Chains A and B, each alone.
Chain A
Amino acid sequence: METEINLLHTKFYLPKAREQLVHRSRLTHLLEEGLQGRMVLLSAPAGYGKTSLLADWTQEFHHPTAWLTLDENDNDTARFMEYFFHSFFNRGYIQLQQLLTEKAALFSGNLRQNLDILLNCILSSSENIIVVLDDFHHIHSPVINESINYMVENLPANAHFVISTRADPVVNLPNWRVRGYLTEIRRADLCFTLKESTEFFQSALGDIFTRKNVRALTNKTEGWIAGMQLAASAIKSLDDTYSIDLFIESFKGTNRFILDYLLDEALKNQSEETRNFLLFTSLLEHFSASLCNHVLERNDSQQMLDFLERNNLFIVPLDNERTWYRYHTLFADLLQSQLEKLDKERKRLIHQSAANWFETNHYYNEAIEHNLMAENMDAAERLIQLNAASVLNHSQFTVFSNWLNRLPREKLYQNPTLCTYYALTLLLRGNSYHEIKQILESMQEFADAGFYGPAFIRSLLAIIQGNPQEALQHLDLIKSNPPQEDEFLSGYLELIQALTLPVNINQTIENLRKTYLRSNIAGNLVIAITSRSYLGDLYNFMGKLTEAQKNYQEALDLSTIDKNAYLPIGSNVLLGLGEIAYKRNQLDEADRFLSAGLEIKENIAISHFWGLCTSKARVCIAQGRIQQALAYMQQAQELAIQFDTTEFDDFVVSCRIAQLHLLMGNLDAAEERVNALSMHDIEKSRDLASFSIIYTPIQYLYPSTLACCAIHQGKLSESIEILSKLYHESVEKNLGDFVLQFSVLLAVAHEKNNAREEALGYLHKALDLAYPEGQVQIFLEQKENILTLLYEAAHRNIHPEFTGHLLSLFPQMNTQEETDKFIIHDGEIIEPLSDREIEILALISQGFSNQQIAVQFHLSLSTVKVHTYNIYRKLQVHSRLQAVSKATLLKILPPTKK
């Protein structure tokens, strides 16, 4: 793996104030005052000295400052987060840095959580924290803008933001203005005043410059600093014979675009050497003396750069060592427009030369860029391929596809390895089926020659489409010619094999563990996380929630250690964690995980996102938020339609939605869905689990939906038939979670069918399974259907404590028999006590202790406690005394005879 060097350190570089610059204390003081509030916004077009002002201010007031210069690429949320958090380090924030380091392990893929941790650390440190985000106009990501909103909203008093930008950011400015959070320094403030421009021209040009001249130039440029700098350069280079007044007259009179004109004038009188240096280097985004020497074939670039810097000729140093520079964007653009006069060939050569230098020095990103600009597609392709594995291993799919997008199609199609990688990234994105097919077609001749790529892609495609037989066929083709040198693909292959070869769940777990270990050692992060996540899934199937949780958590941590982008599978992990929390009725936590998963999606469009939506809907239903649940269900459906690589997911989503409707009691809606399912898809789903055990939930999806519907429709024997089969199958396969699900359903079905003993038998089994893992929701979902059974179970001493706990979780609900016997007293509705409860209450009123009552009725102590609890609950009291007196008052108990 090639190690890559990069120019990252320049992003955190706090610019130093330049000596000759006019010190604008009116503005630095404005800034300083603004730091009493939450944010200072510096918003003005290019060339108004924003960054210089900030440098000036840091110098004057000596605050430790976190600094981050942003660029286009920072719209990637993961990247932004990484750099943002990093910007607080090595800035003199000792306490904050320590706190952040301590909490490092807590950072995860959840943006909101990470921000909370950061805000807490800031709160805990006593330091005054200032963070500057320069060039914020590059940011258009709504996720990042939201994060800024969130942070400002919740900002501790010791923290302050400074945002420097060329365009107002899309954040909550109006709101902050009203609340006084915001200080703005805008173009009008940043214009040079007459006093300031006088000072400027004085230091730049000396006394030859009259007041009249200053005023004329200030007016013409409207205080635009960039304009004035250029004007000064132009004037400086004037011939002695050419009077300044004349220059200014002609300048005032010209209609030309100011900067264009001034640049011309400024360049006109420079030496050809300087001119060429400026023009040619303007093609380079970042440059160093060494790079310039190479590209321009000279050896005095360092002197040239020093000269330019000293004379304020547009270059900006990017680090302390004065190694790297860039042009102020304004001037880069201006210079490049001048380059039009040169021929294209010259420009191309410059890019090529730069590309070569960057490559030799291991800056591969920049090398690829310049090769593409030089239209040297061969070199670009070579470098992309060289770096593909490491880039993909770190899941930087966006970076990778950006490169490939700029290669001409014909070139790409001739490179089988790159094509395969490209197709893989498209598959993960899920909505470019058409393009994937095109790629496969173009790779046909390679396939014929025995190349593994197309078969690999086809097998993945088949898996996604729910055609396991086909997938296996394609995989067989690969076995004869496996991709050994290709770390990335062979890791993927191993994962698929681990998932598909044996059908026994324990064996699959074993294989996945091995895959995980191997990929971890090989540094193949994507495979490591994916396999770990599948392990979580499998334990989930077995009903071993705690074990599943451990695996999911580790998978999530893995994506954090890398801190580089959120892997597509990250959302799968969050889905798993969310579902576990839901099963345990930890609804807030479930909400958090699922929301985090939905957030990750912003980065890369992935399949299975709808799974998060349907799970979120389920949580909403449990929380009583029906409108929201319906919205999520709608979203899930739309996403499934968008994912055009297969129609099969529409089937899966439809079933899930049907089940959600049943949860809400909408039998009609559910039936409609079920009836609309295609036979073809139903057939497909019947045998999926034999391909891989990971498909079990999908295989059971249709029959269980059918059975649930049948229960609601009163077709009890039908449902019992289906459920019994499913039950026995899952027992056989050791799939504890499904056994639990089916036994609960069977209990309900039998109960409705008036087979109380059968029902209790299954309920007992369910309680056995649910109790050790705290599975609660599976019962709550059944609502009143299971209430009587639970009471009965408690009565019969089956898991009395657990049943008691479950009953206490049910919102005030009543079985049908008892609903008729309500007492209304003083505006309160009093639930009727059962016969047993009255008996117990009678003994209580006679002073019996719980233990004595237990003995009396041959019950366990726990059962008596359950009854007592229910008595209190129904009577809405909190003690034995209260219970007795209220019951007497309500004539539930006969008045006590002394």
Chain B
Amino acid sequence: MGELSNYYQIYIQGHLGQNWSEWLQSFHIQHKENGITVLTGPIVDQAALRGLLDHLFDLGICILSFRRLGFHPEGRIFFSL
């Protein structure tokens, strides 16, 4: 349903403070209750994706999942596939 955007959503273990936002290439940081953080943001291509994952990995951050988001038919709001 809907076209793929270039936004990705990454679930990681542990709450990351907002101070990480810029370091993580301006990703939106959202905390979930169970000690999980959701990062949402644009990734321009596969190489950039790899770079970001490497970054997280280097920090010893545990990556739980990541996926690409689609477009809401009405426009700019993203929903999960």
Using a CB–CB distance below 8 Å, which chain A residues touch chain B? 45-47, 166-167, 224, 226, 254-260, 329-330, 333-334, 336-338, 340-341
CA distance A593 to B58 in the complex (A): 41
Sample 22 A-B pairs with CB under 8 A, ordered by A number: A45-B58, A45-B60, A47-B60, A166-B58, A226-B60, A255-B15, A255-B31, A256-B14, A256-B15, A257-B12, A257-B17, A257-B61, A259-B59, A330-B59, A333-B55, A333-B58, A334-B59, A336-B23, A338-B19, A340-B19, A340-B21, A341-B19
- A337-B23, A340-B21, A341-B19 given; name 5 further pairs at CB < 8 Å: A257-B13, A257-B14, A333-B58, A333-B59, A336-B23
A803-B21 Cα distance, complex, nearest whole Å:
79
A259 touches B60 (CB 8 A): yes
B residues within 8 A CB of A260? 14, 16-17, 20
What is the 8 Å Cβ interface bit string for chain B, positions 47-78, against chain A (1 contact, 0 not)? 00000000101111100000000000000000
Nearest-Cβ distance from residue A520 to partner chain B, whole angstroms: 42
Chain B hits for A254, CB < 8 A: 15
Residues of B within 8 A of A341 (CB): 19
A330 with B61: CB separation less than 8 A:
no
Cα separation A136 to B27 with both chains bound (whole Å) = 29
Contact check, A167 vs B57: say whether CB atoms are below 8 A apart. yes
Per-residue A-contact encoding for B7-44, CB less than 8 Å = 1, 0 else: 00000111111011111000000010011010000000
Across the interface, name the chain A residue whose C-beta is closest to B17: A260
When chains A and B are docked, how far (Å) is the Cα of A166 from the Cα of B31?
A: 27
Cα-based distance from A340 to B15 in the complex (angstroms): 17
Chain B residue, CB-CB nearest to A338: B19
In the complex, A166→B61 CA distance in Å?
Answer: 13
CB distance from B57 to the nearest CB of A (A): 6
A575 to B61, CA, bound (A): 49
Identify the closest chain B residue to A329 (Cβ): B58
Q: A224 with B31: in contact, given A260-B17, A336-B23, A340-B22 (CB under 8 Å)? A: no
The answer to whether A224 and B57 have CB atoms under 8 Å apart is: no
Residues of the B chain whose Cβ atoms lie less than 8 Å from the Cβ of A224: 60
| Contact residue among A46, A167, A255 (Cβ-Cβ distance under 8 Å from B59) | A46
Q: Specify which chain A residues have a CB less than 8 angstroms from the CB of B55 in the assembled complex.
A: 333
Interface residues on B, range: 20 to 34
- Would you give the shortest CB distance from A229 to chain B, in whole angstroms? 12
CA distance A334 to B60 in the complex (A): 11
- Cβ–Cβ < 8 Å partners of B37 in chain A: 257
Partner of A257, one of B15, B23, B34, B58: B15
> In the complex the two chains form, what is the Cα distance from A260 to B12 in whole Å?
14
B-side residues, CB < 8 A to A, are 12-17, 19-23, 31, 34-35, 37, 55, 57-61
Are B14 and A258 closer than 8 Å at their CB atoms?
Answer: yes
Quick one: which of B12, B15, B16, B59 has the most chain A CB within 10 A?
B59
Q: Could you tell me if B57 and A45 are in contact, using CB atoms closer than 8 angstroms? A: yes
Are B58 and A46 interface neighbours, CB within 8 A? yes
B19: nearest chain-A partner, CB-CB: A340
Chain A residue, CB-CB nearest to B16: A257
CA A388 to CA B23, docked complex, whole Å: 33
Tell me if A255 and B14 are in contact (CB < 8 A). yes
Number of A-B residue pairs at CB separation under 8 A? 58
Nearest-neighbour CB distance to chain A for B74, whole angstroms, equals 34
**Contacts of B61 on A, CB cut-off 8 Å?**
257
Closest B residue to A258 by beta carbon equals B14
B35 engages A255 (CB within 8 Å):
yes
How many angstroms between the C-alpha atoms of A329 and B31 in the bound complex? 25
Q: How far is the CB of A335 from chain B (nearest CB, A)?
A: 11
A167 proximity list for chain B (CB < 8 A): 57
Which residues of chain B are within 8 angstroms of A45 by Cβ–Cβ distance? Answer: 57-58, 60
Residues of B within 8 A of A258 (CB): 14
Q: Tell me, in angstroms, the Cα distance from A167 to B22 when the chains sit together.
A: 25
Chain B residues positioned under 8 Å from A257 (CB to CB) = 12-17, 37, 61
> Which 4 A-B residue pairs are closest in the complex by CB-CB distance?
A257-B14, A255-B35, A340-B19, A255-B15
Q: Which residue of B lies closest to A45 (CB)?
A: B60
Q: Which of A224, A254, A257, A258 has the most CB of B within 10 A?
A: A257
B35's nearest neighbour on chain A, judged by CB, is: A255
**Which of B19, B31, B34 is within 8 Å of A337, CB to CB?**
B19
Residues of chain B contacted by A226 (CB below 8 angstroms): 60
Given the complex, which residues of A lie within 8 Å of B15, measured CB to CB?
254-257
Residue of B nearest to A333 (CB): B59
Residues of B contacting A255 with CB < 8 Å?
Answer: 14-15, 31, 34-35
A785 CB, min distance to chain B CBs, angstroms: 54
Q: Which of B14, B23, B58, B59 contacts A340 (CB 8 A)?
A: B23
Cβ of B23 to closest chain A Cβ, rounded Å: 5
Q: Would A337 and B20 be within 8 Å (CB), given that A46-B60, A255-B31 are in contact?
A: yes
The answer for the CA separation of A194 and B59 in the assembled complex, in Å, is 23
Instruction: Kindly provide the distance from the CB of A343 to the nearest chain B CB, expressed in whole angstroms.
Output: 12
A341 to B20, CA, bound (A): 10
Tell me the complex Cα distance, A340–B24, Å. Answer: 11
- Chain A residues lying within 8 Å of B34, measured Cβ to Cβ, are 255
A257 and B17 alpha carbons, distance in the complex (Å): 8
CB B80 to nearest CB in A, in angstroms, measures 22
The interface residues of chain A lying within 8 Å CB-to-CB of B58 are 45-46, 166, 329-330, 333
> Which one of B15, B16, B21, B60 has the greatest number of beta carbons of chain A within 10 Å?
B60
Chain A residues lying within 8 Å of B57, measured Cβ to Cβ, are 45, 166-167
Return the chain B residue nearest A227 by Cβ. Answer: B60
CB distance from B16 to the nearest CB of A (A): 5
- How far apart sit A334 and B12, CA to CA, in the bound complex (Å)? 16
Question: What is the distance, in angstroms, from B34's C-beta to the closest C-beta of chain A?
Answer: 8
**Residue of B with least CB distance to A140:** B50
Give the distance in Å from the alpha carbon of A696 to the alpha carbon of B17 in the complex.
Answer: 69
* Residues on A with beta carbons closer than 8 Å to the beta carbon of B60: 45-47, 224, 226, 259, 330
What residues on A are CB-neighbors of B12 within 8 Å?
257
What is the CA–CA distance of A167 and B57 in the complex, to the nearest angstrom? Answer: 9
CA distance in complex: A303, B19 (Å): 30
Contacts of A46 in B (CB 8 A): 58-60
Minimum Cβ distance to chain B for residue A330 (Å) = 6
Please report the C-alpha to C-alpha distance between residue A256 and residue B29 in the assembled complex, in whole angstroms.
13
Return the chain A residue nearest B57 by Cβ: A45
Taken together as a complex, chains A and B put the C-alpha atoms of A45 and B58 apart, in Å, by 7
| Residues of A close to B17: CB separation below 8 A | 256-257, 260, 337
By a CB distance below 8 angstroms, the chain B residues around A259 are: 59-60
Expressed in whole angstroms, the Cα–Cα distance for A258 and B62 within the complex equals 11
In the bound complex, residues from chain B placing their C-beta under 8 Å from that of A338 are 19
Give the docked Cα–Cα distance between A45 and B34 (Å).
24
**Once bound together, how far apart are the Cα atoms of A329 and B12, in whole Å?**
20
